[in-house]
Amino acid sequence: MHILIVEDDAHIAENLMTFLDLRGHACDYAPTLRGARQLADQAAFDALIVDRGLPDGDGLALIRDLRAQGKSLFVLVLTARDTLEDKLAGFEAGADDYLVKPFALQEVEARLDAIARRGKQRDDTGSWRLADIEYDASAQEIRQDGQALRLPPKAVRLLAVLLQHPNRVFSRRELELAIWGREQESSDNLRTLLHTARRQLGDASRVEIVNTHGLGYKLAQR
């Protein structure tokens, strides 16, 4: 995931960025609402981790702004404010989850993964297209020039994930979580699916699965 962290405590922000970077996520950081709004205008983020007590206001204001703009990124509020009223205010503002400080870094990641899985389930109701390839969520099919490809369900899921965000690089871990719901002990499982998908797409397809060395995989137009 591409994650925007909005936190005025530099130590907390650094720990979050270091941990999430090592887990395969790409992170940007802002200590203020103003800085966060500027970053959100410049790039598309998959997730937002936001504190409430920021130097220039409440982090919930940022969530409301992003929701009003129609941005569908996953939102995790990370704050010391722990009353029921605080939590309800967070959800009313548009947060997907609310975690009270102090926290474990592993729990932050687990909550982001859970939010992402729920989001993917909600998103699987439409269709996505790139050149000659289309995913039909209602039929759970990948089609090439209108013809359904003969793919096993997990290979369909792989291509569906890549099709939702063309040219975005997905790490091995992100793809494994999206397909199996957990990391795989061996990378062979994902490699096998990639091989199957590439073989079915064929050399004549106008799209290809690209291996970005050291980073992951993306779907791109030839």
Please write the tens of the pLDDT for every residue from 184-195: 878 888 989 899
Confidence of residue 133 (pLDDT cuts 50, 70, 90): confident
β strands within the chain, DSSP E: 2-6, 26-30, 47-50, 53-54, 57-58, 74-79, 97-100, 127-130, 133-136, 141-144, 147-148, 207-212, 216-221
Q: What is the pLDDT of residues 197-212, one digit of tens each?
A: 898 888 888 889 998 8
Confidence band of 118 (pLDDT split at 50, 70, 90)? low
Query: Three-state DSSP class for 83?
Result: coil
Q: What is the pLDDT of residue 126?
A: 61
Q: Please tell me the total number of residues recorded for the chain in this structure.
A: 222
Question: pLDDT of 41-82, one tens digit each?
Answer: 888 788 899 999 999 999 999 999 988 887 778 899 998 988
pLDDT at 202: 87
* Number of DSSP helices (H) and strands (E) in the chain, helices first: 8, 13
- DSSP letter assigned to residue 166: T
CB 52 within 8 A of CB 59: yes
- What pTM was estimated for this model as a whole? 0.57
Q: Domains along the chain?
A: 2-121 (3.40.50.2300), 125-221 (1.10.10.10)
Q: Is the four-CA dihedral 93, 95, 97, 99 of positive or negative sign?
A: negative
What's the pLDDT at 6?
Answer: 96
pLDDT over 70 percentage in the chain: 95
Q: How confident is the model at residue 120 (pLDDT cuts 50, 70, 90)?
A: low
Report, as an integer, the average pLDDT of 211-221: 87
How far is 175 from 140, CA to CA, in rounded Å? 18
DSSP single-letter state for residue 126: S
pLDDT of residue 125: 52
pLDDT, tens digit (0-9, with 9 covering 90-100), for 9-38: 999 999 999 999 888 888 899 999 999 999
